[in-house]
Amino acid sequence: MARPIVTIVGRPNVGKSTLFNRMAGKRISITEDTPGVTRDRIYAECEWLDNHFTLIDTGGIEPNTTDTIFAQMRLQAEIAIDMADVVLFMVDGKEGVTAADAEVAQMLRKAKKEIILVVNKMDKFVNNNNIYEFYNLGLGEPVSISSSEALGIGDLLDIIIEKFDDTMDTADDDDSIKIAVIGKPNAGKSSIINRIIGEDRVIVSDIPGTTRDAIDTKFERNEQKYTIIDTAGIRKKSKVSETVEKYSVLRAFAAVERADICILVIDADKGVTDQDIRIAGYSHDNNKGMIIVVNKWDLIEKDNSTFNEFQDEIRKSLAYATYAPIMTVSALTGQRVNKILDAVDEVYSFRNLRVSTGVLNDIITEAVLMNQPRMVRGKRLKIFYGTQVAVNPPKFLIFVNDSEIVHFSYQRYIENKIRDSFEYKGTPIIIEFRSRGEKGN
């Protein structure tokens, strides 16, 4: 069973991103009064009353615009609606029903999804009788909220989880290693999954976009549980050329959010593409483990330097992910595919590795002795001590005299020294510098 997906849609500037941030519990979306600020999809994992779901924020829908940016935003919003189990259609309670609202409502009725009509900006200064005109949209009873004032959010969440059905996985008791298989369409993701799990549970085709939805497959090996997530292509063959890149990226983003480790599948015949770089960057930015799998290696003419040259190309393109191991496989012949889960186990063990405070401070002390921090604005950084505060991903807090003068190059230096001792293969590590006495200490 897959986790429910809830998508927020509506015209630009009705407050979608503010609601998203309220429900996600943190400020993720950029919120401004300029229509069209949120252009790409933004995802967050949310929980309400022990029900877990994925929330998607979308750019505003402008039904009849000729503006290129708004047209792209409309396309991506349509894709997000297609992915959703529940759609929150947000309208502006102060402005009332507009012609654009009516057109969006018509589009949503055709989508045949669970729709919740959300009337925003209904704070204490607004006449609540305004809500009745929204019944004319034909989407059922409106739910009034004020996302900026946090009014009605709990009631809205109650209604959302009532829309979930028994086919959706809303629990958070899954102790499996969650693996997202990501990459450019037609790179061989589904074929690799079939080889890994040993049976054809996922349709395999040479047409990009065959896999429409993310498919979760649970299995065990050597008493270790895994959940492997195949990521999507597009809806219709006729639209492969215009939407395959956008749709597969969006679905990959949703899968990355849920994963512990991402397997980035690269087509050896095509090399690293812009889409590979974008998806891998999203995995890195979300601090997920990463393994780079170069598929179709059997099709490459090789000499003694072929692998090293290909590896150099990958490292150059994905310079931020030098921690990620690189493997070459052939899903067609099965060559080395059986080694992928071994790599997953190894990366997962590093993601859960704990370093004792004593050992960590020995590493930091030696690093400082070998390379003193530079003076910044006439002040030298002093490191008092460090401690590991989390795993999966590993996170370290280092207490200093002034966190404002930590140079990024010195932070990278400390990270490299920690990696010299413990490697942390396949996973980013988070290092946060805090001033002593700073809030949260």
Number of C-beta neighbours around residue 8 at 10 A:
29
Q: Is 48 annotated as a binding residue?
A: no
Q: Is 298 annotated as a binding residue?
A: yes
Is-contact 121 148, C-beta < 8 A? yes
Q: How many residues does the chain have?
A: 441
Q: Is 57 annotated as a binding residue?
A: yes
Q: Is 185 annotated as a binding residue?
A: yes
Q: Is 209 annotated as a binding residue?
A: no
CA angle, corner 24, sides to 19 and 25, nearest 5? Answer: 100
Q: Is 286 annotated as a binding residue?
A: no
Q: Is 234 annotated as a binding residue?
A: yes
Q: What is the DSSP letter of 107?
A: H
User: Where would I find the H helices in 126-219?
Assistant: 153-162, 189-197
Q: Is 17 annotated as a binding residue?
A: yes
Q: Is 58 annotated as a binding residue?
A: yes
* 116, amino acid identity: I
Q: Is 233 annotated as a binding residue?
A: yes
> How many Å apart are CA 66 and CA 227, to the nearest integer?
43
Q: Is 51 annotated as a binding residue?
A: no
Q: Is 302 annotated as a binding residue?
A: no
Strands of the sheet containing 5-10, edge to edge, are 42-48, 51-57, 5-10, 86-92, 114-120, 143-144
Q: Is 15 annotated as a binding residue?
A: yes
Which helix (DSSP H) or strand (DSSP E) does residue 182 occupy?
A: strand 177-183
Is-contact 14 36, C-beta < 8 A? no
Q: Is 11 annotated as a binding residue?
A: yes
Q: Is 178 annotated as a binding residue?
A: no
Q: Which residues are registered as beta bridge partners of 88? A: 8, 116
Six token digits for residue 223? 């008493």
Q: Is 123 annotated as a binding residue?
A: yes
Nearest Cα residue to 145 out of 111, 120, 175, 125: 120
> How many Å apart are CA 262 and CA 182, to the nearest integer?
7
Q: Is 190 annotated as a binding residue?
A: yes
Q: Is 188 annotated as a binding residue?
A: yes
Q: Is 60 annotated as a binding residue?
A: yes
Number of C-beta neighbours around residue 370 at 10 A:
9
Q: Is 227 annotated as a binding residue?
A: no
Q: Is 12 annotated as a binding residue?
A: yes
Q: Is 121 annotated as a binding residue?
A: yes
> How many Å apart are CA 127 and CA 89, to the nearest integer?
21
> How many Å apart are CA 344 and CA 350, to the nearest integer?
10
Q: Is 189 annotated as a binding residue?
A: yes
Q: Tell me the HSE value of 332 on the side-chain side, using a 13 A CA sphere.
A: 12
Q: Is 8 annotated as a binding residue?
A: no
Which residues lie closer than 8 Å to 116 by C-beta, 6 or more apart? 86, 87, 88, 89, 143, 156, 159, 160, 163
Helix (H, G, I), strand (E, B) or coil at 250: helix
Q: Is 120 annotated as a binding residue?
A: yes
| Residue ranges with strand state E in 113-174 | 114-120, 143-144
Q: Is 231 annotated as a binding residue?
A: yes
Is-contact 197 215, C-beta < 8 A? no
Q: Which residues are annotated as a binding site?
A: 10-17, 57-61, 120-123, 183-190, 230-234, 295-298
Cite the annotated binding site for GTP by residue number. Answer: 10-17, 57-61, 120-123, 183-190, 230-234, 295-298
